[in-house]
Amino acid sequence: MTDSVIALRGVRKCYRLGKVEVPALSGIDLEIQAGEFVALAGPSGSGKTTLLNLIGCLDKPTAGQILLDGGDITQTDLDRLADIRASKIGFIFQTFNLLPVLTAFENVEYPLLLSGVPRKQRQERVREWLKHVGLTGQAEQRPDQLSGGQRQRVAIARAMVTRPVLVLADEPTANLDSETAAQILDLLNEINRETGVTFLFATHDPAIISRAHRRIRLRDGRIAADERNHQLIEGVSNAR
């Protein structure tokens, strides 16, 4: 479909341990449309992190095809993947991954600085997103002066300030208490509705899974179930 942000066709990923080849993903077929709010669930070792890394241009598949925002990234070299990652994808991590020596403002500004965005535009966009996540008053504070929830809000602003087409969130509520986690989920849902940016979560958190518009469950490197609009489709992707 023309509005697919992500399309995977027969994607396999294997890792070599000595002389042994260990499959992590086995023939994944998947499309994620613009504006979806998707949870990728499954037990440890099911392939969630591997799939997120492939979609996030952090790794390359052993076989199959990956399309991101309509472009084929399957055979793209690592330097070009880094450029694509910087311009099209935002990342949110469970450990926040903020630079401790920078203020909240500077952490959000950092990816724009790397991309060469002019100073005036950088500052306008940073102020806009700090306001959006409710941290205007904390702009000059460093991460060690912020609560866990505030740090994750900084990370969300940093992910969104580049105007990505896709945000990948790896266990974004894992280090937060339940009340703060609910507030973060409310914020992400609001951003999804207002901007139309696609969100893909890799998570064990039942709260994220229950609030996602679509739930994709992995098992042994395959898509075991795909629930969209409360209709469960079993065995969507089989080994190839």
pLDDT, tens digit (0-9, with 9 covering 90-100), for 127-161: 999 999 999 999 999 999 999 999 999 999 999 99
Rounded mean pLDDT of 34-57? Answer: 94
Q: SS3 breakdown of the chain: % helix, strand, coil, rounded to 5? A: 35, 30, 35
Is pLDDT of 69 > 50? yes
We find that the CATH architecture of domain 4-97+165-234 is 3-Layer(aba) Sandwich (3.40)
In three-state secondary structure terms, 162 is coil
Question: Smallest Cα–Cα separation from 172: which of 91, 71, 54, 233?
Answer: 91
What pLDDT does 154 receive?
A: 98
Angle at 200 between CA 56 and CA 94, to 5 degrees: 80
| pLDDT tens string 216-229 | 999 999 999 998 85
Domain locations in the chain as residue ranges:
4-97+165-234
Question: Rounded CA gap, 89 and 117, in Å?
Answer: 16
Tally of CB atoms within 10 A around 206: 10
